[in-house]
Amino acid sequence: MMSLPEGPNESKLQQISRIRIDDSSRVPVSLWFASSVFWLLMGSVAALISSVKMHNPDFLGNIEWLTFGRIRPVHLDIVFFGWSSMAAVGCLLWLQARLCHVRLPWPLLLSGLAMVWNVGVCVGVMAVLAGHGSSIEYLEFPAYCAPFFAIPALGVLAANVKMYVTKESQHTYVSQWYLLAATVWLPILYVTAMGCTYFGLVQGVSQAITNWWFGHNALGLWVTPIAVATAYYLIPKVTGKPVHSYHLSLLGFWSLAIFYNWAGTHHLTGGPLPAWTITVGVVGSMMMFIPVITVAINHHMTMRGVFHMLKTSPTLRFTVFGSVMYTVASFQGSLEALRSHQEITHFTQYTIGHAHLGLYGFFSMIMFGAMYYIFPRITNNEWSSARLIKVHFWGSSIGVLAYGIGLCWAGWWQGVMMNDPAIPFLDTVAYIRPYLIMRSVSGTGMTIAHIAFAISVWRILSRHHFVMSGPTLFTTTRPAWREFVNEQEKREQAELEAQS
C-alpha cells in the first residue's frame, strides 16, 4: 500500500483534486497554448516586416503579397485571432476548471476546436496575403473564415457553462464572472459584426460603427476580461495574499460589464457620424475610469508588502507588469476618447503606441505570466532555464516600454505639427522617421524575447529537460502525489466497472 506524503487529510484531498483537474486540462490547454505561441512568432515576423516598411518603404516592396496593405492586417489578425484569442481560451479553460473544482469537460472536443481555430487563422492569413482581405480592421478575414471561429467560440462557451453549472465550489470567485461574461460576449460580438458586415446589412457610416463596436469590444469584452480574471487569480495565489478589497473587485466587474460596450465609437471622433453617437462613446470611455480604478487599487494594494516576491517568481513578474500597464493603458485610452485629445492624436502614431501598451504591455504580459504558472502544472514538468525566462521578461518589457512611450511621444508631436498649417507635411514625416526606426529596434527586442519563450515552451512540452519536482512544483505534482493519484484513479475505474 502506497503511503501519502505527510499532512492533514483535508490538505491531501485538495492536493489530489488539484492534480486531477490539472491532468484533465493537459491536452486541450497545451494545444491552445502551444498554438498561440506559434502564432506569436508568426505575428512577430509580420510585425517586423510591417515596421521596417514604415521607415524603408522599398523593403520587400516588389513582392506583391508582402505589401504593407496586406502584411500589416496579417500582423493584426494573427496577433488577435492566433496569439491573443488562443492564449486567452487556454487560460480560461484551465482557470475555470480550477475555480469550479471540476475536471475540464470534453478534452477531445476542446482539442479538436483548437485545431479548427488554427485552420481558420491559416485560411484567413492566406486569404489576406492573396489580396482577399476586407480592409475592415479586425474583420479582414473573408466571410468563409467565420465558422472556423464562431463554432469553437460556442464550444468554449458550452464548456465554460458546463463547468459553472456543475461546480463543486460554493462561491463564484470574481475571476469566474469575468470568464463567463467573456465567453458570452465573444460569439454575440463576432456573429453580429460578421453578419452585418458580410451580408450587406450595413454600409458606409453604419459599417464604420459596426466595425468599431466590434473592434473595441473584441479587445475590451473578450481578451481584457480574461487577462483581468487571470491577474485576480494569480496575484493573490502566487503571493499567498487574498485580494485587497473583494468588494471593489466585484464593483469593477459589473461596471465594466455595463459601460465598456458603449465605448467603441470614440474611434470615429471627427468622422461623418451623428454627434450623439460619438458622445455615447466618449461617455462610455469616461465611465471606464470606475472599473479601471477598482482593478488598479486591488492589484497594486494586494502587492503591498510582498514586492520582494517579484525577484523570485516569474509568474508574478509578468503579471504585475501587465497589471501596471492595464492601469496606464486604460487611463490613457479613456483620455484619448476626449474630442480635445483626439484633435491632436487622431491619425498619428500615438494610437499605435497606445494599442501596444494595451494589448502587449497589459494583455500579453499577463498571458505570459499565466503560461509560466500553468504549463508546469499541466505537464508535470519544471521550466528548463531561469535565464531564458529572464531574457523573455527583459526583452519584452523593455521592448514594449520603448515602443509605447516612444510612439506616444512621437505621435503627440506629429499631431501638433500636422495641425499647424505652416509646417509642410513632409516635415512631419522626417520628424517621425527616427522613432519608426526605434520601433523596429524595440520590435526586434520583443521578437528575441518571444524566441526565448518559444524555446522554453518547446522544452517543457517535449520533455527535453524533464524534472518532476522543483521550486514551482514543490507540492502539487511531486512524484509521491502523482503515484497516489494514479492509484486512486485505477481504484475508481475498477469500482465503476464493478458497478456496471
Partner 1 sequence: MFLISMLIWATALLGAVMTVWALAWAVQRGEFRNLRQGAASIFDAGEPIGQQTDFFPGAKR
**Any idea which residue has 500582423 for its cell?**
75
Considering the rule CB under 8 A, would residue 322 count as an interface residue with partner 1? no
Q: In the bound complex, what is the minimum distance in angstroms from residue 26's beta carbon to partner 1?
A: 19
Q: Which of 29, 34, 316, 454 binds partner 1 (CB under 8 A)?
A: 316
Q: In the bound complex, what is the minimum distance in angstroms from residue 444's beta carbon to partner 1?
A: 25
Q: Which stretch binds partner 1 (CB under 8 A): 58-66, 120-128, 152-160, 235-243?
A: 235-243
Considering the rule CB under 8 A, would residue 210 count as an interface residue with partner 1? yes
| Amino acid code (one letter) for 168 | E
Q: In the bound complex, what is the minimum distance in angstroms from residue 171's beta carbon to partner 1?
A: 5
Considering the rule CB under 8 A, would residue 434 count as an interface residue with partner 1? no
Q: Which of residues 86-105 bind partner 1 (CB under 8 A)?
A: 99
Q: DSSP string of 478-489?
A: -HHHHHHHHHHH
DSSP 278: H
Nearer to partner 1 by C-beta: 224 or 442? 224
Considering the rule CB under 8 A, would residue 242 count as an interface residue with partner 1? yes
Q: Which of 314, 404, 415, 445 binds partner 1 (CB under 8 A)?
A: 314
Q: Which of residues 369-398 bind partner 1 (CB under 8 A)?
A: 372-373, 382-386, 389
Q: In the bound complex, what is the minimum distance in angstroms from residue 245's beta carbon to partner 1?
A: 8
Does residue 110 contact residue 159 with C-beta atoms inside 8 Å?
Answer: yes
Task: Determine the Cα–Cα distance for residues 132 and 135; give it in Å rounded to an integer.
Answer: 9
Q: Is 463 left (phi over 0), alpha (psi -120 to 50) or beta?
A: left
Q: In the bound complex, what is the minimum distance in angstroms from residue 340's beta carbon to partner 1?
A: 25
C-alpha cell at 178: 469575468
Does residue 183 contact residue 92 with C-beta atoms inside 8 Å?
Answer: yes
Task: Determine the Cα–Cα distance for residues 471 and 238; give it in Å rounded to an integer.
Answer: 13
From residue 166 to residue 195, what is the string marking binding to partner 1 with x (rule CB under 8 A)? Answer: ---xxxxxx--x---x--xx--x---x---
Nearer to partner 1 by C-beta: 166 or 169? 169
Nearer to partner 1 by C-beta: 102 or 181? 181
Task: Determine the Cα–Cα distance for residues 142 and 163; give it in Å rounded to an integer.
Answer: 33
3-class SS shares of the chain: helix, strand, coil, % to 5: 80, 0, 20
Q: Which of 261, 279, 444, 469 binds partner 1 (CB under 8 A)?
A: 261
CA dihedral of residues 353, 354, 358, 360 (deg, nearest 10): 0
Q: Tell me if residue 229 falls in helix, strand or coil.
A: helix
Considering the rule CB under 8 A, would residue 315 count as an interface residue with partner 1? yes
Q: Is 7 left (phi over 0), alpha (psi -120 to 50) or beta?
A: left
Q: Which stretch binds partner 1 (CB under 8 A): 128-136, 204-212, 355-363, 408-416?
A: 204-212
Tell me how far the alpha carbon of residue 343 is from its chain's centroid.
30
Task: Determine the Cα–Cα distance for residues 353 and 404; give it in Å rounded to an integer.
Answer: 4
Q: DSSP string of 138-174?
A: T--S-GGGHHHHHHHHHHHHHHHHHHHHT---SS--H
Q: Which of residues 14-53 bind partner 1 (CB under 8 A)?
A: 14-15, 18
From residue 98 to residue 137, what is the string marking binding to partner 1 with x (rule CB under 8 A)? Answer: -x--------------------------------------
CA dihedral of residues 443, 448, 453, 457 (deg, nearest 10): 120
Q: In the bound complex, what is the minimum distance in angstroms from residue 453's beta carbon to partner 1?
A: 14
Nearer to partner 1 by C-beta: 246 or 413? 246
Considering the rule CB under 8 A, would residue 11 count as an interface residue with partner 1? yes
The contact set with partner 1 (CB under 8 A) reads: 7-8, 10-12, 14-15, 18, 99, 169-174, 177, 181, 184-185, 188, 192, 196, 201-206, 209-210, 213, 233, 236-243, 246-247, 249-250, 254, 257-258, 261-262, 309, 312-316, 372-373, 382-386, 389, 467, 470-472, 474-476
